[in-house]
Amino acid sequence: MGSRAKSFDYYFCDNCRIYVYDEQHGDPQNGVQPNTPVRALPLTWRCPVCCSSVKNLRAVTLCDDISKLELARIYSQLKGKRAG
């Protein structure tokens, strides 16, 4: 509470690392309405890119209005460091 910083929750598919689920946008092509939290996604939901399950979505919270492309770059860098 009290923090007025903008924050957006994005969810990367940790399997393909291409797809990003945006709760505000939902996934209308797969019947998911906008503003649907990841927790409310149906268990039958699959990543549109690689068909992996909702469990592979990894939350990323940012405090800025950052583009998804930028986010993808940051994420892949983080991933690269761990992958060693």
Residues found near Zn ion in the complex (CB under 5 A): 13, 15-16, 19, 47, 49-50, 52
CB of 12 to Zn ion, least distance (A): 9
Picking from 75, 60, 72, 73, the residue whose alpha carbon sits closest to that of residue 10 is 60
CB of 53 to Zn ion, least distance (A): 9
Element (H, E) at 8: strand 8-13
Task: Tell me whether residue 3 or residue 29 sits nearer to Zn ion (CB atom).
Answer: 29
CB of 11 to Zn ion, least distance (A): 11
Task: Tell me whether residue 49 or residue 74 sits nearer to Zn ion (CB atom).
Answer: 49
Separation CA 11–CA 81 (nearest Å): 20
Q: Is residue 44 within 8 Å of residue 65, measured between CB atoms?
A: no
Task: Tell me whether residue 18 or residue 40 sits nearer to Zn ion (CB atom).
Answer: 18
Q: Is residue 9 within 8 Å of residue 60, measured between CB atoms?
A: yes
